[in-house]
Amino acid sequence: MKADMGRWPQGKTWAGMISVNLDGEFFSRIYYPEIDVDSVPEFALMGGHGIKNGLPRMLDLLEAHKLRATFFIPGQIAVRYPQVVREIASRGHEIGCHGNWHENLGTFFFCREVIPLMKAQRSGKIISMSSGGGVIGMEHLCHYATAKAALFGFIKSIARELGPYNVHANCIAVPTTVTPGSSDYDYDDDAEAEIPEIPLGRLAYPPDIANMTLYLSSSASDYVTGQVLAPNGGKR
């Protein structure tokens, strides 16, 4: 599925993406809490080697070819390896927050690391991914909707603080989205049931979210900050 990326600088018409998990023990910490990951050589090697050796090599390679990249960093990784966030930012790359085990602290820790750098350079764009559940509410999931709505207040607050430094902060309220992994779960029927409530008559697809992210990260949104944008096809 090809998204309409618009007109790119210098006539460029395509972009490549390489996905690398620099912290291999991350999911082991989530799914196997009974395991002392740091004491198991196999797990420790996957994570430690990537952070200590893989990342510097990757940054050097990008610099050698004069390339800039976007790194999506889970909040837990920012807490565990704060020097990684600082090094990536100091090399001139963008950083996106990936959440923190579905806890809002991830956004807080991420912002704590990057805001001083953005203030110093007097520019920056913070884009937080939340959920449409925080906008419309969710029956039987009030704890989830409350946590997602909390991000709205956080982003609006730091946007007011960071405006004088030309640092923007916005939030995307992601709706139910069809992805290649959707069929692995049992919510297909529930998702389809949402369609009659959506004026545009369909669920969201990844390019719908990606294009909104592209807009907020581009100069087209230079007068947009402290906003919660919901690419949800008109659902309220």
pLDDT of the residue at 22: 59
Parts of the chain with a pLDDT under 70: 1-32, 37-38, 40-50, 96-106, 180-190
Structural tokens at position 5: 């990326």
Handedness of CA 63, 65, 68, 70 (dihedral sign): negative
Kindly name the residue from 31, 81, 144, 205 that is annotated as catalytic. Answer: 144
DSSP string, 26-78: HHHHHH-TTS-GGG-HHHHHHHHHIIIIIHHHHHHHHHHTT---EEEE-HHHH
Rg (CA), the chain: 19
Measured distance CA(34)–CA(52) in Å, rounded: 25
Measured distance CA(184)–CA(186) in Å, rounded: 7
Measured distance CA(110)–CA(104) in Å, rounded: 10
Active site residue 144: yes
Task: Give the predicted TM-score (pTM) of the model.
Answer: 0.60
Whether residue 47 contacts residue 26, with contact meaning beta carbons closer than 8 Å, is answered with: yes
pLDDT digits (tens, 9 = 90+) for 122-172: 999 999 988 888 888 877 778 778 878 888 999 999 999 999 999 999 999
